[in-house]
Amino acid sequence: MTKLIRQINFPEDLRKLKKDQLKQVSVELRDELIDIVSETGGHLGAGLGVVELTVALHYVFDTPKDKLVWDVSHQTYPHKIITGRKDRIKTLRKGGGLSGFTKRSESEYDPFGAAHSSTSISSTLGMAVAKKLSNNNNNVVAVIGDGAMSAGMAYEAMNNAGALKSKLIVVLNDNDMSISKPVGAMSKYLARLLSGKLYFSFRETVKMVISAFSKRFSQKAGKAEDLLRGIVTGGTLFSELGFYYIGPVDGHDVDNLVQIFENVKNSSHQGPILIHVRTQKGKGYKPAEESGDKYHGVSKFNVSTGEQSKSKSNAPSYTKVFAETLIKHAEQDTKIIGITGAMPSGTGLNLFEKRFPDRTFDVGIAEQHAVTFAAGLATEGYKPYAAIYSTFLQRAYDQVVHDVAIQSLPVRFAIDRAGLVGADGPTHAGSFDITYLSTLPNFVVMAASDESELVKMINTSVHINDRPSAFRYPRGNGIGVTMPSINELLKIGKGRVIKEGKKAAILNFGTRLEECKKASEILSQRGINITIIDARFSKPLDEKLIMEIANNHEVLISIEEGSIGGFGSHVMQLLSDRGVFDKGLKFRSMILPDSFIDQDTPEKMYEKAGLDCLSIVNRIQETLNSNIVLAKNKNKISN
């Protein structure tokens, strides 16, 4: 049998097929997805769960004229395969390849870029209003998961959409999973809808949808339909927000989905519509179906066995070091609390939860709430640890400032995924936390240069009871150093000297320390011996140590895995205030460039960013040489 998927390069090819061929297309698309991700790695379970949904949406709606926006968009590999990117699909998440998420610059079928959750309804509402103002009748569809529906932004958008009575279609993809099991009242609410046996068959659903939108029914029939709708929704929150609610329906019955989408597309209903679709994450691939996280994110794997090829390292991951260290402290201190926003496994708090289930709180995809919730705990003498990725903590910056910093509450922020993160690209990079935290008065901001330093920073944070603190650490494994006990503390605002040299000095903040050491070896071979300092703190700075090396070296270089405005900017401000530049010091700040760096291996990303050892060597030599040239010019002038 000729594979139908080979005939499909764009949605218009899909629409040429007969409806009874769509089941076969779905089977082939699912097989294609499994084969691709087995070679590339990436997000698998979510994509497997939306295969039929993807086929039905592109079959019914006239994409890209009709706008289709996927929330988070880690589930869009099937979407990419049938929207002109099939020939490049094996470049997913690689340098120069396709993004693992939707990306406007990549395809006209990606009308809105995403990677953080709960943005789809807001963005599609904006599109819907724009179309109305332009007298454009094309459809706008948002696909949002039940996990993403736990975020307040989704409800802000729904409330606005209901009030505006905009022409907007929202597909709620309910798979009872985000990355881990969803939490909160919304997941329980959706479960009640299902447990109430409202899971409609094909015939029941079509009958309901047709009756809802047909103009041919009498007033009595309309009242009956309203009664049915009331029974179906049970006075749902969605209806109260102004959405016409349909469902739950089987998200793996492609025939059913096509019929529903066609009826909704062709209806004369004025106002937003929500279609509640029930799917299974990992659908159609047994190892994914049986996995606890439904193979949310995977490395390359064997299709037959499902066995993933994991990189081997004798060093523990930074995430695991954080979790295990926090557990040790919590065994001695009953005030320690762990908080995460729908990322228990990603932050290591799943390990903490096994040991302390009553002291672990997964608040769902609600970073703003997580931070203020932690602040409330801190007012009562508890020691909350908000374990949040750097990129996700950005979403709660106002709460960090207003609810934590201004009140000087001792919330501890465990900032995972600091710096460049590899295959997830710029949307997940931890580029800005040094800057956005170090500007806040009375904050303690630390960055671990290795896993041993991370332990010491966690130890230290336990005893910071008069102000907020944060410690950042990268994705991946440590370097394999001897681990300290939980009793080893750091003195607040004090760095350490790694190596002493002459003329040039490096002030390192974070895990670029190993690259600094490599640079030092290269420079040493060229007759240049440098000083290396591990700053440890961006706030407060070790002013005494910085001034000492500034007054005893010709060149001072700061290095950090963050944007402008961070550690280097604070060092430069200190040096400027103390008049050091008047004495001839050459200072250079090595930071992430003023651009977003696309996905690649972390090593190549840091090379592009100019933060690898050779870049450090070149910067030091260039700066030293500029001093030599300046000295020669001064001699010429004096002569």
Active site residues: 281, 367, 395
Q: Which residues contact 18 (CB under 8 A, 6 or more apart)?
A: none
CA dist list (Å): 529 to 111, 262, 550: 53, 72, 16
Beta bridge partners of 384: 337
Q: Do the beta carbons of residue 78 and residue 151 sit within 8 Å?
A: no
Beta carbons within 10 angstroms of residue 363's beta carbon: 20
Q: Which residue matches tokens 């070790």?
A: 542
Residue of 590, 483, 497 whose CA lies nearest to 552: 497
Greatest CA separation for the chain: 106
Phi, psi of 456 (to 5 degrees): -65, -35
The C-alpha atoms of residue 375 and residue 396 are separated, in whole angstroms, by: 12
Residue of 282, 383, 241 whose CA lies nearest to 326: 383
Q: Which two tokens stand for residue 313?
A: 């390292």
- Which sign, positive or negative, has the C-alpha torsion 229, 232, 238, 243? negative
Residue of 629, 511, 490 whose CA lies nearest to 562: 511
E strands, 443-569, in order = 444-447, 469-472, 496-499, 504-509, 531-534, 537-539, 555-560
**How buried is 237 (Cβ within 10 angstroms: 0-12 exposed, 13-18 middle, 19+ buried)?**
middle
Beta bridge partners of 593: none
Ramachandran assignment for 156, one of left (phi > 0), alpha (psi -120 to 50 degrees), beta (any other): alpha
CA of residue 385 relative to chain centroid, distance = 19
Phi, psi of 145 (to 5 degrees): -85, 165
The C-alpha atoms of residue 8 and residue 255 are separated, in whole angstroms, by: 19
